[in-house]
Amino acid sequence: MKTEDLKLIVKEKYGKIAKENQGFVKSSCCGTSSCCSDSDFISMIGDDYSTLEGYNPDADMGLGCGIPTQFAGIKKGDSVLDLGSGAGNDCFVARAAVGPTGHVTGLDFTEEMIEKAKHNALKLGFTNVDFVYGDIEDIPLTENSFDVVVSNCVLNLVPDKSKAFSQIIKVLKSGGHFCVSDVVLKGELTESARKNAELYAGCVSGAIQMSEYLSIIEKAGFTDITIHKERRIELPDGIVASENSETGIFSITVSGYKF
């Protein structure tokens, strides 16, 4: 499938999620049936945000696979960029970390998500958070302008990951860093197993081997690459069957620095 066709599919899917005000559990994980509960899906794919400072339930659509801000080392006064910001969940958590002297920008290429995020920010009265329409493969923001870039379960959906990380290093200041949570593969999955996993959890689409993912980051020019958290995504029996515990679908949270 062509790159533009893939992007259109992603844009339409997430636009529909925003319009329906539903999270991944209802619209992308289980389709129209209720094959898993919200709590089941959080433990399987994402993490619980509810105790974090800055958390706003209206912005949490259950679309993440980790909490990148947890390991991002965000400081007061920082300028932070969230790629694939959705309804603003990670942006609002990052805003609590940067404080009133910092600034958070969310970037998304789904107009409906941008509108939803702006509405949430307006309701909260935030003036140091803004949301920008744009493509991660061609970020429309000033070079060398951010201290930290975060992203949550989004880059795996980007067709050209090399281009995405080259854009991340471009917008970071010297000495800045990124921290992203994402979905990767380890070991060889059968074609049927991968298709079953993609049908069950849409965020598996576009996932590549973890070794390749880390290699792309290194080739983009990042150093001090660190995996802060790695967790096997336990899909229901029969979705991905493997006797090897090292083979399967994993969520990772990884960071790297620009020097």
> Pseudo-torsion of CA 57, 61, 65, 71, nearest 10°?
-40
Span of 6-20, 111-125, 178-192 with lowest mean pLDDT: 6-20
Burial 186-198 (b: 16+ CB within 10 A, else e): beebeeebbebbb
Burial 209-247 (b: 16+ CB within 10 A, else e): ebeebbebbeebebeeeeeebebebebeeebbeeeeeeb
pLDDT cut 70: percent of the chain above it: 81
Q: Is the pLDDT of residue 204 over 80?
A: no
Any idea which architecture 3-257 has in CATH?
A: 3-Layer(aba) Sandwich (3.40)
C-alpha 82/C-alpha 88 separation (Å) is 9
Q: Is the pLDDT of residue 202 over 80?
A: no
Q: What are the φ/ψ torsions at residue 86 (nearest 5 degrees)?
A: 55, -135
Task: Write down the mean pLDDT value for the chain.
Answer: 85
Q: Is the pLDDT of residue 34 over 60?
A: no
What residue spans define the domains of the chain? 3-257
